[in-house]
Chains A and B, each alone.
Chain A
Amino acid sequence: MAGYTVDTPRVGFFTDTSVCIGCKACEVACKEWNKVPADNQGYLGSSYDNSGELGSERWRHVAFIEQKLPVGVEDGAPDDLVAEAARQSLVEQGLDPKTDEDGFRWLMSSDVCKHCTEAGCLDACPTGSLFRTEFGTVVVQEDICNGCGYCVVSCPFGVLDQREEDGRVWKCTLCYDRLQGDMEPACAQACPTDSIQFGELDELRERAAERVELLHERGRGEARLYGEDPEDGVGGFGAFFLLLDEPETYRLPPDPVVPTRQAGTVWLSALAAAGTMAVGIAASFLGRRD
């Protein structure tokens, strides 16, 4: 498996969604720096998310989730449920101002390639176009990519996609060129709230652990880290997250596993089937000849 074995410190992102304000500066900075072509120009009807998803033309994507929480769920049941429900109805109709306790919540999160320790795309790539850089990141070499699309179905996060005009696959490089110039990636630099933090992965993990602990102390029990654990199904993300709800709410797989971990079963079964087929065909020649 193409795990991480380089000696230089591995870098990555810690995306702390609890301070994301949905400004999309990361999306814009990424597009500008990496000269990523324009894509969807319309309205998608999904809150402020009109860019849809990560893909060949979008290497950072900000998700917007509008949630209405059950009454008083954060602080236990209120004294008068009926009065509370009536007030919430007024709030919904815009007749009463919202307050923090109204049970409305707006989640925002900037998604990106996870630069997995065990990267499904890298393992699947038949040309060697996808490779592990000296920074521990996963990058596509466009002059070698043959557009076979195998990485597209091998990514548990649906990050990679084919660009229509040239048939090749494009994704976040974690600003490989900027890293080589000792600069931080464009999205991290543009982020006004430090929701996107760039740095050495070990340090980011420590920082994230402190952050989630702090949030728990402040009563935000729903805060959880996603992808920081090297024991998970992809050996830990190079770009991990602090989320305020289940991963699937943000369109993230709850427990992703790199397809390569099943390779043993996959090949054993293919060989067993091949053997069975050969035996079956030979058997059809047995018996009396007509």
Chain B
Amino acid sequence: MSPREKTLVPREEPTTYYGRPIVKPPVWKPEIPFYFFFGGLAGGSAVLAATATFAGRPGLARRAWGGAFVGVTVSPLLLIKDLGKPSRFLNMLRVFKVTSPMNIGAWLLLANGGATSLAAGLNLLNEERRGGAPEVLAAALGAPLATYTAALVTHSAIPAWSEARVEMPFVFAASATASAAGAAILTVPADEAQPARRLGIAAAIAEEATTIVLRKRLGPLAEAYEQGTAGKFGKAARALTIAGALAFAVGDDAFHPDHRRSSIGRLTRSKDERRRAKRRNALSLAGGTLLLAGSVCKRWSVFKAGFQSAEDPTQVIQTQFSS
């Protein structure tokens, strides 16, 4: 742009054209935030499952592979639903285009879907399995599957998304991990739940921390995340995630050292032990559900923030003035 030679109209607030947006809000339907969630669930679960397989925790591994498989199955269905018909998904596979995060993502989803399905099948068929190439591949493609959706939104002209390009993938990674831990906890036997429970707590803390950093660094743009529908989803995500982590923490064996050695199903347990185990189970189920719900709300909050940012032309103007 040429240097500003002369300003005719003195102004404090940036002038807008009848307050109308400069950039267009997304045309994405509600399937997309759910896709962000399921992609995260798939990616996080694949990494969790592969680690559990190699660590010799078949009970946890099988559940986590189940979660990953659900994730990679539901994800393309959501995308196709958003696009309108299956052939439109295939259009993305006619090219491999490194400048397009959407294209990379389609290939990533496809590759991870294959690897995860294979690894999940092998683990479900053979309980003794201790891991191999499919598990490694599923995990290696799973982690980026959980974070590329953050790149998808930050690689855009929408200020509140684009300016969060450093922090957003970490928020998505934490949220994906929390959902993977939450999903695993729902079905895993109590004596194999320990890693998932710890993971859920750690992910919740990481999600809170990264979200705080993101908002701080965004400055005035953070409004898009704090107000309106995005703000409501953001508050819900925070409450659900913290509550889920607390449920995990209270139910965690580590907080009851005298019962560390107890395991469900042992016939010789005392009445007291059984009562505690039951309470722990209830807390685990509640915690898992809360983390999953929190993860869904998190993606909705980010999704809606994009709309709110796009609809406010001053966000575009301020960002470009200050850069």
Our pick among B9, B51, B91, B173 for the contact of A129 (Cβ within 8 Å) is B91
Our pick among A52, A126, A158 for the contact of B92 (Cβ within 8 Å) is A126
Q: Which of A2, A226, A251, A273 has the most CB of B within 10 A?
A: A273
In the complex, are the beta carbons of B168 and A269 less than 8 A apart? yes
Q: Mark A109-153, 1 if CB is under 8 A from B, else 0.
A: 000000000001001111111000000000000001111111011
- CB of A180 within 8 A of chain B? no
- A155–chain B nearest beta-carbon distance, Å: 6
- CB of B233 within 8 A of chain A? no
Q: Which of B2, B55, B172, B313 has the most CB of A within 10 A?
A: B2
Please give, as numbers and ranges, the residues of chain A lying within 8 Å of B173 by CB-CB distance. Answer: 273-274, 276-277
Q: Mark B22-65, 1 if CB is under 8 A from A, else 0.
A: 11111110000000000000011001100110010100000000
In the complex, are the beta carbons of A2 and B310 less than 8 A apart? no
Knowing A155-B24, A259-B156, A277-B176 touch, does A228 contact B166 (C-beta < 8 A)? no
Knowing A126-B92, A226-B1, A290-B194 touch, does A148 contact B102 (C-beta < 8 A)? yes
- A237–chain B nearest beta-carbon distance, Å: 10
- CB of B300 within 8 A of chain A? no
Please give, as numbers and ranges, the residues of chain A lying within 8 Å of B209 by CB-CB distance. Answer: none
In the complex, are the beta carbons of B27 and A255 less than 8 A apart? no
Question: Which of the 9-residue segments A4-12, A21-29, A66-74, A84-92 touches chain B?
Answer: A66-74
In the complex, are the beta carbons of A222 and B100 less than 8 A apart? no
In the complex, are the beta carbons of B14 and A248 less than 8 A apart? yes
Question: Which of the 9-residue segments B118-126, B144-152, B270-278 touches chain A?
Answer: B144-152
Q: Give the distance in Å from the alpha carbon of A257 to the alpha carbon of B202 in the complex.
A: 37
Please give, as numbers and ranges, the residues of chain B lying within 8 Å of A152 by CB-CB distance. Answer: 24, 26-27
In the complex, are the beta carbons of B83 and A146 less than 8 A apart? yes
Q: Taking CB as reference atom, which chain B residue is nearest A160?
A: B24
Knowing A273-B170, A285-B195 touch, does A232 contact B5 (C-beta < 8 A)? no
Please, how many residues of chain B have a CB less than 8 angstroms from a CB on the other chain?
98
In the complex, are the beta carbons of A154 and B84 less than 8 A apart? no
Please give, as numbers and ranges, the residues of chain B lying within 8 Å of A125 by CB-CB distance. Answer: 97, 100
Please give, as numbers and ranges, the residues of chain B lying within 8 Å of A156 by CB-CB distance. Answer: 23, 157
In the complex, are the beta carbons of B6 and A167 less than 8 A apart? no
In the complex, are the beta carbons of B1 and A282 less than 8 A apart? no
Question: Which of the 9-residue segments A35-43, A94-102, A188-196, A260-268 touches chain B?
Answer: A260-268
In the complex, are the beta carbons of A277 and B99 less than 8 A apart? no
- CB of A78 within 8 A of chain B? no
In the complex, are the beta carbons of A123 and B157 less than 8 A apart? no
Interface of B is mostly: helix
In the complex, are the beta carbons of A144 and B199 less than 8 A apart? no
Please give, as numbers and ranges, the residues of chain A lying within 8 Å of B84 by CB-CB distance. Answer: 147, 167
In the complex, are the beta carbons of A222 and B147 less than 8 A apart? no
Question: Which of the 9-residue segments B215-223, B234-242, B284-292, B314-322 touches chain A?
Answer: B314-322
In the complex, are the beta carbons of B2 and A245 less than 8 A apart? no
- B148–chain A nearest beta-carbon distance, Å: 6
Q: Taking CB as reference atom, which chain A residue is nearest B254?
A: A290
Knowing A153-B306, A157-B23, A277-B146 touch, does A251 contact B91 (C-beta < 8 A)? no
Q: Give the distance in Å from the alpha carbon of A276 to the alpha carbon of B100 in the complex.
A: 24
Q: Give the distance in Å from the alpha carbon of A73 to the alpha carbon of B155 in the complex.
A: 42
Please give, as numbers and ranges, the residues of chain A lying within 8 Å of B106 by CB-CB distance. Answer: 126
- CB of B21 within 8 A of chain A? yes
In the complex, are the beta carbons of B21 and A280 less than 8 A apart? no
Q: Give the distance in Å from the alpha carbon of A216 to the alpha carbon of B2 in the complex.
A: 13
In the complex, are the beta carbons of A280 and B202 less than 8 A apart? yes
Q: Give the distance in Å from the alpha carbon of A100 to the alpha carbon of B18 in the complex.
A: 24
Please, how many residues of chain A have a CB less than 8 angstroms from a CB on the other chain?
92
Q: Mark B165-206, 1 if CB is under 8 A from A, else 0.
A: 111111011101100100000000001001110110011001
- A117–chain B nearest beta-carbon distance, Å: 14
Please give, as numbers and ranges, the residues of chain B lying within 8 Å of A285 by CB-CB distance. Answer: 51-52, 55, 57, 195
Our pick among B101, B147, B253 for the contact of A273 (Cβ within 8 Å) is B147
- A58–chain B nearest beta-carbon distance, Å: 12
Knowing A221-B6, A278-B139 touch, does A251 contact B17 (C-beta < 8 A)? yes
In the complex, are the beta carbons of B100 and A254 less than 8 A apart? no
In the complex, are the beta carbons of A277 and B177 less than 8 A apart? yes
7 tightest A-B CB contacts, nearest first: A251-B17, A273-B169, A274-B143, A146-B88, A126-B103, A126-B102, A221-B6
29 chain-A/chain-B pairs, Cβ below 8 angstroms: A46-B18, A120-B157, A124-B99, A128-B94, A144-B91, A149-B28, A150-B152, A153-B161, A155-B23, A158-B21, A158-B24, A224-B3, A225-B2, A227-B1, A232-B1, A245-B8, A249-B17, A251-B16, A251-B20, A255-B323, A266-B101, A270-B150, A272-B169, A273-B147, A277-B174, A277-B177, A280-B206, A284-B198, A285-B195
- On B, residues with C-beta under 8 Å from A are 1-10, 14-18, 20-28, 43-44, 47-48, 51-52, 55, 57, 82-84, 88-89, 91-92, 94-95, 97, 99-103, 105-106, 139, 143-144, 146-148, 150-158, 161-162, 165-170, 172-174, 176-177, 180, 191, 194-196, 198-199, 202-203, 206, 253, 260-261, 306, 310, 313, 316-317, 320-321, 323
- On A, residues with C-beta under 8 Å from B are 1-2, 44, 46, 49, 52-53, 55, 63, 65, 67, 69-70, 73-74, 105, 120, 123-129, 144-150, 152-162, 167, 212, 216, 221-229, 232, 245-257, 259-260, 262-263, 265-267, 269-278, 280-282, 284-285, 289-290
